[in-house]
């Protein structure tokens, strides 16, 4: 079924059962969701938590979902950094393994000016082994559980969510997220291209990857992983010397760096964990790069549920008793 | 012999035989050197090549060595980024293996306003294996050859030169630099602390490493190297989550990150290469951190020749016939 257009007429069959929000650092995505989980309308606003001044979250929410029922009759459920220390209210992390029941039990609540509640999905905390460090996520757990709710075999796959901080997650057959790992690859790429000496030789050209610089970066990462693991801090310098010596054109250097970093990430995950099929959740420019890197490393990569976060919000809302599904009727 | 004080009286025995310059990106170090290689006077100026406007290198040089003989009778030899594309003149790299003879044969020359020459030491280029990337250095080769000139057994050690871009180098018994590798560790630390999300939780306190955060970072790097090599892009996130969860105090997070990065570098070098004794060339705050990381990895670390660059400049000048040593007399 195609997604409804913004502002489509709401019939009685299309009664809004849930307003779902994916509220991250830079953007706010809002979904008007039917009782059976269908997305009837979606909106995206440039209103991430870092762009909302003075804690004006209620106003930002009302602005984003203008025209939707906000009188307290329709539950509102939000996932993502809105539940972090920098968000509307910090909702304590829930420990792994965690599925719908654990997230539903850990919901936090804030109030709109009229007193009606907005429910916040908690993030996940994975305690590391003794001496290791913990890992955290906020928002991705909802996407993963949304994809799982579509009937995916959790045992045969792992999830990959590309982004500034990419997340890899492994689930139990019972539908719970067992463990996950964050890789700072995207942010490392950003700061190196924008603030390090590597950016000085880079230029963006009309054909930015004519030399398949991304593929060369992937190949270098694979060689290093096979021969001298952990060489990334050395390999980075290649994104300078290949520019200095004419081994790559200036407009290929950023892609080479991207290949080096994403290749190193995929190699590290592959070395440390069983992977199976990689289910990639997320659109944008990073997803195809990760799909290619996974393929180059011999992994099967598939694209997951497009509306995973909306499906996850619906499933969590049902688990929390905020709405009843059609099969409860 | 203690170094002479700035402006010490020049006796006939102390005739200046060479003005040696270590001219890098941020600073200019000048040495007045006797025929036997002794450093008679040293000066340091805030006049690195990026701080010299409009190519005014001759003026910067004259300003730094005011009062020293600049009339063309005493040769002037400079090493470092002054011979790069951003310097006074780009001197082509010399390939590895390279020792005093190869560097002497590759000297470049520029002229002072009176026409007297300033000789520039070339940098080194290491061609990678097919498909790999090349590596380069400018300035460190002179330090290494200066230390070797003191009689160190090149076969039993490798060199480590900490810095924004640290260099590891392996030499032949014949006194030539055989190969080397650059690690961007210092710059990665800088950009992550200054420009990434990791810096947000960091603070500098009165007791910046009371929790031995540096040691914890080293330990994490060692665990990763042993278990899941290449995990650095994941491990970086620990410098956030340990702050988020109270596992480390805010004033320890930068040290933890430093330990993670330096530990990963040392683990990568150790995994890929024979190391033996590590000779650390360079002072400053990084040298003791690297010494500790090397020790934690089971390597022997010793401090190399303090005036290595001046000794190297003297040895190269002799090899080039710019001066004659006392044993030629």
CB contacts of B235 in chain A (<8 Å) are 133
Q: What integer is the mean pLDDT of B196-223?
A: 82
Question: B185: pLDDT confidence band, cut at 50, 70 and 90?
Answer: very high
For residue B325, the model assigns a pLDDT of 54
Q: Judged by CB atoms within 8 Å, which residues 135-164 of A form the interface with B?
A: 135-136
| B128 band by pLDDT with thresholds 50, 70 and 90 | confident
Q: What is the pLDDT of residue B153?
A: 86
Q: What is residue A10's predicted lDDT score, i.e. its pLDDT? A: 45
- Containing A96, the helix (H) or strand (E) segment is none
pTM: 0.88
Best mutation target, A24, A124, A133, A267, to test chain B (most B CBs within 10 A): A133
A12 touches chain B (CB under 8 A): no
**Could you tell me the pLDDT band of residue B224, with boundaries at 50, 70 and 90?**
confident
Percent of chain B scored above 70 by pLDDT?
A: 89
B101 contacts chain A (CB < 8 A): no
CB spacing of A196 vs B188 below 8 angstroms: yes
Distance CA B304, CA B150 (A): 10
CB neighbourhood size of A215 (10 A): 17
- pLDDT on residue B3: 47
Residues 6+ apart with CB under 8 A from A18: A31, A33, A74, A75, A76, A77, A313, A314, A317, A322, A323
Q: Which residue of B has its CA nearest to A216?
A: B131
User: What pLDDT was estimated at residue B157?
Assistant: 85
- What does the radius of gyration of chain B's CA atoms come to, in whole angstroms? 21
Interface of A with B in 20-79 (CB under 8 A): none
Residue A237 to residue B182, Cβ atoms within 8 A: yes
Span B208-217, mean pLDDT? Answer: 79
Interface of A with B in 256-295 (CB under 8 A): 261, 264-265, 267-268, 271-273
Q: What is the pLDDT of residue B326?
A: 54
Structure confidence at residue B283 (pLDDT): 77
Query: Can you tell me the mean pLDDT for B299-322?
Result: 95
Predicted confidence (pLDDT) per residue in A100-147, tens digit: 999 999 999 999 999 999 999 999 999 977 777 999 999 999 999 999
pLDDT confidence tier of residue A14, bands split at 50, 70 and 90: low
Asked if A223 lies within 8 A of B187 by C-beta distance, the reply is no
Residue B40 has pLDDT above 50, yes or no: yes
Question: Could you say which of B125, B220, B271 has the minimum Cβ distance to residue A229?
Answer: B271
Mean pLDDT of the region B171-191: 93
Residues of A in contact with B134 (CB under 8 A): 241-242, 245, 247
> How far is A317 from chain B, CA to nearest CA, in Å?
28
Query: From CA B242, how far away is CA A319, in angstroms rounded?
Result: 31
On the 0-12 / 13-18 / 19+ scale of CB atoms within 10 A, B5 is exposed
Q: What's residue A81's pLDDT? A: 96
Best residue of B189, B234, B260 to probe chain A, by most A CBs closer than 10 Å: B234
pLDDT value of position B272: 65
Question: Do B164 and B190 meet the contact criterion of CB atoms below 8 Å apart?
Answer: yes
Residue located via tokens 């992550």: B192
Q: Which residues on A lie below 8 Å from B264 (Cβ)?
A: 230, 232-233
Q: Are A166 and A182 in contact (CB under 8 A)?
A: yes
Of A135, A196, A238, the CB nearest to B237: A135
* pLDDT digits 0-9 by tens, B62-74: 999 999 998 889 9
CA B299-A227-A300 angle, 5° bins:
135
Q: Do A188 and B188 touch (CB under 8 A)?
A: yes
pLDDT, tens digit, 9 for 90 and up, residues B238-253 = 999 999 888 889 999 9
Q: Tell me whether B220 touches chain A (CB under 8 Å).
A: yes
Give the CA count within 13 Å in the CB-facing half-sphere of B78.
Answer: 32
Least-confidence region, from A200-204, B51-55, B65-69? A200-204
Cβ-based neighbours of A54, under 8 Å, separated by 6 or more: none
Q: Is B225's Cβ below 8 Å from some Cβ in A? A: yes
Our CA-based measurement puts residue A117 at a distance from the nearest CA of chain B, in whole angstroms, of 27
Query: What average pLDDT does range B169-180 have in this prediction?
Result: 92
Over residues A24-50, the pLDDT tens digits come to 998 999 999 999 999 999 999 999 999
The answer, for A220 touching chain B at a CB cutoff of 8 Å, is: yes
Contact list, A191 vs chain B (CB under 8 Å): 191-192, 195-196
B230 with A225: Cβ contact below 8 A? yes
β-strand A108-111 against A117-120: which pairing, if any?
A: antiparallel
Q: Which of A87-91, B170-174, B209-213, B292-296 has the highest mean pLDDT?
A: A87-91
Percent of chain A with pLDDT over 90: 68
ipTM: 0.85
Contacting residues of A for B266, CB less than 8 Å apart: none
Instruction: Provide the token pair at A267.
Output: 């190699």
Closest-CA residue of chain A to B223: A132
Q: Provide the pLDDT confidence category of residue B14 given band limits of 50, 70 and 90.
A: low
Helix axes B286-296, B253-272, angle to 10 degrees: 60
Would you call B237 and A165 a contact, using CB atoms and an 8 Å cutoff?
yes
List the 233-252 stretch of A: residues with Cβ below 8 A of B: 233-238, 241-242, 244-245, 247
First to last CA, chain A: 23
For residues A60-82, average pLDDT: 94
CB A40 within 8 A of CB A10: yes
3-state SS record for chain B: CCCCCCCCCCCHHHCEEEEEEEECCCCEEEEEEECCCCEEEEEEECCCHHHCHHHCHHHHHHHHCCCCCCCCCCCEEEECHHHCCCCCCCCCCEECCECHHHHHHCCEEEECCCCCEEEECCCEEECCCCCCCCEEECCHHHHHHHHHCCCCCHHHEEEEECCCCEEEEEECCCCCEEEEEEECHHHHHHHHHHHCHHHHHCCCCCCCCCCCHHHHHHHHHHHHHHHCCCCHHHHCCHHHHHHHCCCCCHHHHHHHHHHHHHHHHHHHHHHHCCCCEEEECCCCCHHHHHHHHHHHCCCCEEECCCCHHHHHHHHHHHHCCCCCCHHHC
Find chain A residues with C-beta within 8 A of B135's C-beta.
237, 241
């Amino acid at each position: 079924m195609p997604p409804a257009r913004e502002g489509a007429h709401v019939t009685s069959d299309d009664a809004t059962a849930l307003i779902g929000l994916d509220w991250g650092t830079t953007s706010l995505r809002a979904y008007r969701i039917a009782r059976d989980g269908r997305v009837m309308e979606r909106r995206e606003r440039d209103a991430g938590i870092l762009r909302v001044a003075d804690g004006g979250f209620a106003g930002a929410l009302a602005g984003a979902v203008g025209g939707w029922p906000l009188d307290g009759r329709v539950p509102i459920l939000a996932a993502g950094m809105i539940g972090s220390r920098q968000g509307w209210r910090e909702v304590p992390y829930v420990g792994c393994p965690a599925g719908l029941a654990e997230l539903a039990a850990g919901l936090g609540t804030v109030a709109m000016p009229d007193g009606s509640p907005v429910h916040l999905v908690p993030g996940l905390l994975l305690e590391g082994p003794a001496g290791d460090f913990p890992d955290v996520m906020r928002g991705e757990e909802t996407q993963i559980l949304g994809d799982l709710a579509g009937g995916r075999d959790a045992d045969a796959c792992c999830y990959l969510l590309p982004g500034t901080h990419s997340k890899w997650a492994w689930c139990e057959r019972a539908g719970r997220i067992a463990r996950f790992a964050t890789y700072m690859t995207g942010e490392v790429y950003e700061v190196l291209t924008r603030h390090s000496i590597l950016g000085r030789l880079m230029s963006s050209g009309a054909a930015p990857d004519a030399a398949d610089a991304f593929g060369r970066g992937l190949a270098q990462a694979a060689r290093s992983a096979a021969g001298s693991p952990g060489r990334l801090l050395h390999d980075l310098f290649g994104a300078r010397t290949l520019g200095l010596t004419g081994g790559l054109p200036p407009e290929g250097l950023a892609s080479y760096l991207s290949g080096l970093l994403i290749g190193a990430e995929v190699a590290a995950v592959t070395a440390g964990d069983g992977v199976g099929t990689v289910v990639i959740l997320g659109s944008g420019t990073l997803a195809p790069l990760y799909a290619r890197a996974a393929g180059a490393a011999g992994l099967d990569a598939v694209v997951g549920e497009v509306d995973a976060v909306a499906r996850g919000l619906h499933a969590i809302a049902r688990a929390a008793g905020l709405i009843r599904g059609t099969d409860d009727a």
